[in-house]
């Protein structure tokens, strides 16, 4: 496991990894579907004509592209020690690490707001419950800070 590499990742990279992990199942399923269709097409040929041979070459190219996509995915995840067997555990680990880094960044950015500074972990946990953190968000720390201000204003108005 590349724990050291993960701990050196910034917020954007960790969020991107979570995004990739959440999408890998969909991508893998589509690749399996494409490969299945290609195999079915190859089995359906009854004659060996120029057109059939040309189609077969194109279908083989599609299968090769799918293999290349799978290789890209595997290389990406393997560089962080992520594989099929540990992807769920690694996803949880990345999320915990992301929360920790977000807490530190939000605390730093809001160090003058004592209430937020003391309750940053609670705010981050609430944020993760409200928003799908696997969806890529630009300037995530700024987004969280704005969200915290929104929550604080809302709570003040309720009182």
Query: 29-33, 112-116, 130-134 — which one is most confidently predicted on average?
Result: 29-33
- Cα angle value 123/5/124 (rounded, 5°): 5
DSSP annotation string for the chain: --HHHHHH--HHHHHHHHHHHHHHHHHHHHHHHHHHHHHHHHHH--S--HHHHHHHHHHHHHHHHHHHHHHHHHHHHHTTT--TTTHHHHHHHHHHHHHHHHHHHHHHHTTT-HHHHHTHHHHHHHHHHHS-TTS--TTHHHHHHHHHHHHHHHHHHH-
Show the domain range for 138.
Answer: 89-158
The mean pLDDT value for 71-99 works out to 93
> Among the three residues 87, 107, 125, which one is the final residue of a domain in this structure?
87
Asked whether residue 9 falls in the same domain as residue 83, the answer is yes
Query: 101-105, 110-114, 115-119 — which one is most confidently predicted on average?
Result: 101-105
pTM, to two decimals? 0.80
Asked whether residue 8 falls in the same domain as residue 80, the answer is yes
112 or 136, greater pLDDT? 112
- Which of 83, 84, 42 lies closest to 63, judged by CA? 42
Question: How high is the pLDDT of residue 17?
Answer: 93
How many residues does the structure list for the chain? 159
Asked whether residue 138 falls in the same domain as residue 149, the answer is yes
Cα(152)–Cα(141) distance, rounded to whole angstroms?
Answer: 16
Cα(48)–Cα(21) distance, rounded to whole angstroms?
Answer: 42
Asked whether residue 59 falls in the same domain as residue 72, the answer is yes
Asked whether residue 126 falls in the same domain as residue 142, the answer is yes
Cα(39)–Cα(59) distance, rounded to whole angstroms?
Answer: 9
Per-residue model confidence as pLDDT tens digits over 133-158 = 877 788 899 999 999 999 888 888 88
Question: How high is the pLDDT of residue 135?
Answer: 79
Question: How high is the pLDDT of residue 68?
Answer: 95
Question: How high is the pLDDT of residue 116?
Answer: 84
The mean pLDDT value for 112-125 works out to 88
Q: Is the dihedral of CA 75, 81, 85, 91 positive or negative?
A: negative
Cα(152)–Cα(146) distance, rounded to whole angstroms?
Answer: 10
Per-residue model confidence as pLDDT tens digits over 21-74 = 999 989 999 999 999 998 888 888 777 788 888 888 999 999 999 999 999 999
Asked whether residue 115 falls in the same domain as residue 130, the answer is yes
Asked whether residue 97 falls in the same domain as residue 79, the answer is no
Asked whether residue 24 falls in the same domain as residue 49, the answer is yes
Asked whether residue 42 falls in the same domain as residue 76, the answer is yes
Asked whether residue 133 falls in the same domain as residue 146, the answer is yes
Number of domain units in the chain? 2
- Which of 32, 79, 34, 81 lies closest to 59, judged by CA? 34
Question: How high is the pLDDT of residue 3?
Answer: 63
Question: How high is the pLDDT of residue 44?
Answer: 81
Residue 1 pLDDT greater than 80, yes or no? no
């Amino acid at each position: 496991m590349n724990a050291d590499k993960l701990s050196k990742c910034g917020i954007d990279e960790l969020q991107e990894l979570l995004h990739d992990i959440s999408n890998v199942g969909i991508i893998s399923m589509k690749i399996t579907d494409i490969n299945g269709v290609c195999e079915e097409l190859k089995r359906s040929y009854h004659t060996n004509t120029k057109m059939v041979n040309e189609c077969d070459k194109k279908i083989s190219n599609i299968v090769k592209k799918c293999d290349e996509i799978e290789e890209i995915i595997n290389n990406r995840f393997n560089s962080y020690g992520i594989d099929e067997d540990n992807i769920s555990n690694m996803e949880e680990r990345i999320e915990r690490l992301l929360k920790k880094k977000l807490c530190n960044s939000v605390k730093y950015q809001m160090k003058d707001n004592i209430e937020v500074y003391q309750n940053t972990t609670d705010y981050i946990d609430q944020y993760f419950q409200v928003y799908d953190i696997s969806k890529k968000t630009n300037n995530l720390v700024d987004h969280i800070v704005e969200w915290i201000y929104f929550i604080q204003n809302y709570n003040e108005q309720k009182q």
